[in-house]
Amino acid sequence: MSRHIDLNCDMGEGETEASAALDRELMQFISSCSIACGGHAGSEHSMRQTAASALNAGLRIGAHPSYPDRENFGRQSMSISESALSAAITEQTAALKAIVTELGGELSFVKPHGALYNDMARDAELTSLVVTTIKAFDPTLKIMGLAGSHCSAICEDLAMPFLGEAFADRRYTDDGQLSPRSQDGAVITEPETAVEQIMSIVEQARVESINGKWLPLQAQSICVHSDTPGALEHLTLISNHLISRGLTIDAT
């Protein structure tokens, strides 16, 4: 078992000082963050503020583009042409990269958000479109996607590095997809349960589905959503538990 683990969190999804303050608190316990860049949430101000805080915390920074659908927070599948989606992803990623570069940092990865992320895990053609779009923009960027999905093989075929991601605060279906948020129990809100799920992934390379089926799962990064109720408590308990087991929270 690797003795280090990358913990990541989605950030910059609010415009208030309270939201920014929570992000800064969460940054104490993670090693990577993906920053909303205008598709589902985020503005130039929030991108700049969040990126500056992430650089101060020494975090690896990723872009978090989505379907251009702020009304639904990017959590509904969207009927959109390939060219329009490609343009939206490029515009969002470019906006964040410019800010991070200006601040003296480096954009390391791209993690699609919400419905786009989930749709990619089910639709190989969509995954190819998104990965090709990112490669055309910057072939050095890593793609973060659902561990155990076809996204890994597609990235390999397109010569793009892939980061397999698992979740501390989401349940899985029996086929390895994320359980829909509308399903009862799909979001894990108890920190002790989140810790159990992470340790199963980290130490045993497996996860229990929402129906009790054990699935093999190897991941390079573990996500805790910043908008999950009790996210700060989750991350505090998770990081303390990982450290007590002799693991280092590190993105390298």
The DSSP code sequence of 121-145 is: HH-HHHHHHHHHHHHHH-TT-EEEE
Torsions phi, psi for 122 (to 5 deg): -110, -20
Nearest to 61 by CA among 29, 105, 21, 103: 105
CA pair distance 243, 238, nearest whole angstrom: 9
pLDDT at residue 229, as a whole number? 76
Helix 231-244 to helix 17-26 angle, to the nearest 10 degrees?
Answer: 10
- Say what the pLDDT of residue 228 is: 76
Domain span at residue 100?
A: 4-249
pLDDT tens for the chain, 252 residues: list them. 567 889 999 999 999 999 999 999 999 999 999 999 999 999 999 999 999 999 999 999 999 999 999 999 999 999 999 999 999 999 999 999 999 999 999 999 999 999 999 999 999 999 999 999 999 999 999 999 999 999 999 999 999 999 999 999 899 999 999 999 889 999 998 888 988 999 999 889 999 999 999 999 999 999 988 887 778 887 898 899 889 988 899 997
CATH code of 32's domain: 3.20.20.370
Work out the angle between the directed axes of helices 114-122 and 124-137 (0-180°, nearest 10).
120
- What is the reported pLDDT for 78? 96
Question: What pLDDT does residue 231 have?
Answer: 83
One-letter identity of residue 133: T
pTM of the predicted model as reported, rounded to 2 decimal places:
0.95
Instruction: Note the pLDDT of residue 128.
Output: 98
**Residue 91, both tokens:** 């515009």
